[in-house]
Structure 1
Amino acid sequence: MTQANKGIYQATEMKSWGKLKDGAASNLFEPVTIGAWKLKSRTAMAPMTRCFADDQTGVVGEDVVAYYRKRAADGIGLIITEGIVVSPRGKGNPGVPGLYSQEQVDAWKKVTQAVHEEGGTIIAQIWHVGRLSHHEIAGNLPPQAPSAIAAEGLVPRYRQPYDVPEAMTIADIQELVGQYAQAAKNAIEAGFDGVEIHGAHGYLIDQFNSDISNHRTDQYGGDLAQRLTLMKEVLKAVIDAIGTERTLIRFSAHKADNPTYMWEDPEVAIRTFVEAFKDAGATMIHPSIMQFTRVLADGKTMHQIVRKYWDGIIVGVGTLDPETAERAIAEGTIDVAAFGRPLIANPDFIHRLKNGEELEEYDAKTQLPVLV
């Protein structure tokens, strides 16, 4: 991670996790149906890059099977996997898994079978990092991006400066849209219950969304509504491939290489995103922010602004604690609450909440390198 990212992550890692009101009944534990998914609870496991696939093949092993089985057995409603790349050029870290080869699909079948045996629901987060990579990671080809503008900082876990990317041609963009659609089909073949499109955090789709990384003058550039064209095309292609009831999309202002970035007018930007989602036929969205309770405009948080314009399903995320998640669900701001690092530290996260037990704090120094 970049030095800028490191400061934010350290701040969240030091958060003190308390127990949930003496183990009292919570709306977090209610079953709920969203789209095609009948969830055991209103909780989700947020996608977290772990880098435990074979670095050469992008194939996951038995340790990943056990990792996700534990969370499903504990009662997590929706498991969203770590980012899974849609092509070799989409890779931005060593050890990232893929979903573009038959060998990768077959390996994921063991993961989805394990989750389903525990009564869980699991979706694949499909991903392309774009310019946030290095040619030695991305198949010895230049990273792809909307414009030939390098990101600032170092590639996480690789510690090399980001390469200057190759500006994508129209043919490249058409190929990319097809890769997302194929990855979604591959996910269903692998037994996943659906997919989440990673359209957030400064990765390729979000690079098209941003005027920092997108200086194009064709149909993929321009004002925000026009820059969202690629995102809409990917979303439509995936929905056509597997159905809107199996498709979730994640979006945010936050950039992995620019963590302090925020839209100039958050409410206008959010409304523009929501209109694009509606145009593309989406019914489930995953707004992402580093701090869920941060007020962005008119006394409202990001998720409250989203709810003002969106009456579909919202998965909420952003350093959530159980009490904040309970309130947001009760108020109707979100439908499902996603938790990240606490689920690395606590494979028995739901059990601990239900029984009023303290949660172990996430410690990057001891828990990042191992699957628990």
Structure 2
Amino acid sequence: MSDVKSKLFEPTKIGAWNLRTRTAMAPMTRCFADDKTGIVGDDVVEYYRKRAADGIGLIITEGTVISPRGKGNPGVPGIYTQEQVEAWKKVTEAVHKEGGTIICQIWHVGRLTHHELTGGFPPQAPSAIQAEGVVPRFRKPYDVPEKMSVEDIQEVVSQYAQAAKNAMAAGFDGVEIHGAHGYLIDQFNSDITNKRTDRYGGDLAQRLTFMKEVTKAVIDAIGTERTLIRFSALKVDNPYYMWEDPEAAIHTFMEAFKEVGVTMIHPSTMNFTQVLANGKTMHQLVRKYWDGVIVGVGNLDPVTAEQALEEGTIDVAAFGRPLIANPDFLHRVKNGKDLVEYDAKKHLLTLV
């Protein structure tokens, strides 16, 4: 093994998790569950087992919806029925047999969906503002969402907490709350999608109220040591969006996380090395205000990841597409073998 990658292969403990390496499999939507039931099959079991066998430290599943109305793509899995929980048990058992650690990313897409995907119901959102564009893999325009009442909000908060409990019942080691990329939690966080005048609206610190309530409910349900939260400026329906003052926004997010007892965060960006503000990248800005665990992501390669780990900018490096194309990713990196190039046409259609 090359010395340049020694930190990447170092065992570490974050939260309740003893990881074999400082690596993570980033959550990636694959849409291989049964479309009607949200139940995962044996192909998904094998997909995650292979990555665990390779020695990946932390596997974060594809986005897994907390309710029928949280669904935004055909074929995404769920974690809100007993049948879904039972199916996920096969995945977690297979990963654990390989010595791996796996957490479930719990997800609600908010306005980024269509009524034909949500059982006939309109999308849920902080405000009744329609997203531009079409639903990925469904090719129909996003529907006009329904503005959530306070009662709706509290129901969804409870659904997140129940999803976390269901994940533990399915044998997962914890959960990641998907608070990024323009989905429901991030819709509350954004001034573009949140025009509310009640306690869920206002300036950024106030708009983070929903995120804080969800996170606290999940922590109360399963513990902060088993809870990771992902956040971002990036939005799938608005890829060029950026906070007006990135450093101030990041500082506000960090204070919100501290307030509700978060200890592990997953800042998400498309380009890990991009300077965001004041000569620093997103993860460097986060580290300035955060002493807890940081999972880094953003088109990372092993050398860049190693440098960030050495600098202490991040504690765990997450890889996405290279892990789809290379189930034996770590084996290849460790032994200096070439990686298979990710091919969207091939790898989106097959569970390798």
TM-score (norm 1): 0.94
State the Cα distance separating 1:61 from its structure 2 match.
0.3
One-letter amino acid of the counterpart of residue 318, structure 2: A
Counterpart selection for 2:27 from 47, 61, 82: 47
1 CA distance for matches of 2:68 and 2:331? Answer: 38
- Aligned with 1:83: secondary structure? strand
1 CA distance for matches of 2:104 and 2:345? Answer: 27
Q: 2:79 corresponds to which residue?
A: 99
What percentage of aligned pairs have identical amino acids?
Answer: 79
**Cα distance per residue 1:100-127 (max 9 Å; x no partner):** 0000000000000000000000000000
Q: Within 5 A, what are the aligned runs for 1:86-165?
A: 86-165=66-145
State the Cα distance separating 1:252 from its structure 2 match.
0.2
Counterpart selection for 1:29 from 1, 4, 9: 9
One-letter amino acid of the counterpart of residue 270, structure 1: I
1:363 aligned onto 2:343: yes
One-letter amino acid of the counterpart of residue 224, structure 1: L
- Aligned with 1:27: secondary structure? coil
Judge conservation of contact 2:275–2:282 (CA < 8 Å) in 1. Answer: yes
Aligned residue pairs total 352
One-letter amino acid of the counterpart of residue 119, structure 2: G
One-letter amino acid of the counterpart of residue 306, structure 2: E
- Aligned with 2:129: secondary structure? coil
Q: 1:272 corresponds to which residue?
A: 252
Q: 2:331 corresponds to which residue?
A: 351
Judge conservation of contact 1:23–1:356 (CA < 8 Å) in 2. Answer: no
Counterpart selection for 1:281 from 258, 261, 264: 261
2 CA distance for matches of 1:68 and 1:266? Answer: 35
2 CA distance for matches of 1:337 and 1:280? Answer: 25
Q: 1:60 corresponds to which residue?
A: 40
1 CA distance for matches of 2:312 and 2:82? Answer: 41
Q: 2:215 corresponds to which residue?
A: 235
State the Cα distance separating 1:369 from its structure 2 match.
1.0
Residues 274, 59 of structure 1: CA spacing in aligned structure 2 closer, same or farther, 3 A cutoff?
Answer: same
**Cα distance per residue 1:115-170 (max 9 Å; x no partner):** 00000000000000000000000111000000000000000000000000000000
Counterpart selection for 1:314 from 278, 294, 297: 294
State the Cα distance separating 1:40 from its structure 2 match.
0.5
Q: Within 5 A, what are the aligned runs for 1:135-214?
A: 135-214=115-194
2 CA distance for matches of 1:94 and 1:120? Answer: 28
One-letter amino acid of the counterpart of residue 342, structure 1: P
Please list every run of at least 4 consecutive aligned residues from structure 1 whose deviation after the TM superposition is greater than 4 angstroms: 21-25
Structure 2 unaligned residues grouped into runs of 5+: none
State the Cα distance separating 1:25 from its structure 2 match.
4.9
Q: 1:3 corresponds to which residue?
A: none
Q: 1:260 corresponds to which residue?
A: 240
2 CA distance for matches of 1:68 and 1:251? Answer: 24
**Cα distance per residue 1:155-199 (max 9 Å; x no partner):** 000000000000000000000000000000000000000000000
2 CA distance for matches of 1:92 and 1:277? Answer: 26
Q: 1:72 corresponds to which residue?
A: 52
Structure 1 unaligned residues grouped into runs of 5+: 1-20
2 CA distance for matches of 1:153 and 1:281? Answer: 36
- Aligned with 2:118: secondary structure? coil
State the Cα distance separating 1:26 from its structure 2 match.
1.8
Residues 25, 297 of structure 1: CA spacing in aligned structure 2 closer, same or farther, 3 A cutoff?
Answer: closer
1 CA distance for matches of 2:24 and 2:336? Answer: 19
Judge conservation of contact 2:131–2:237 (CA < 8 Å) in 1. Answer: yes
Counterpart selection for 1:226 from 206, 212, 228: 206
Judge conservation of contact 2:271–2:298 (CA < 8 Å) in 1. Answer: yes
Judge conservation of contact 1:23–1:353 (CA < 8 Å) in 2. Answer: no
2 CA distance for matches of 1:365 and 1:108? Answer: 27
2 CA distance for matches of 1:139 and 1:113? Answer: 31
Q: 1:15 corresponds to which residue?
A: none
- Aligned with 2:8: secondary structure? helix
2 CA distance for matches of 1:24 and 1:220? Answer: 47
Judge conservation of contact 2:49–2:91 (CA < 8 Å) in 1. Answer: yes
Judge conservation of contact 1:314–1:335 (CA < 8 Å) in 2. Answer: yes
2 CA distance for matches of 1:107 and 1:239? Answer: 24
**Cα distance per residue 1:225-262 (max 9 Å; x no partner):** 00000000000000000000000000000000000100
2 CA distance for matches of 1:308 and 1:24? Answer: 25
C-alpha root-mean-square deviation of aligned residues, in Å? 0.8
One-letter amino acid of the counterpart of residue 173, structure 1: I
Residues 214, 24 of structure 1: CA spacing in aligned structure 2 closer, same or farther, 3 A cutoff?
Answer: closer
2 CA distance for matches of 1:308 and 1:367? Answer: 37
Judge conservation of contact 1:320–1:339 (CA < 8 Å) in 2. Answer: yes
- Aligned with 1:30: secondary structure? coil
Residues 25, 264 of structure 1: CA spacing in aligned structure 2 closer, same or farther, 3 A cutoff?
Answer: closer
Counterpart selection for 1:302 from 267, 282, 295: 282
One-letter amino acid of the counterpart of residue 129, structure 1: V
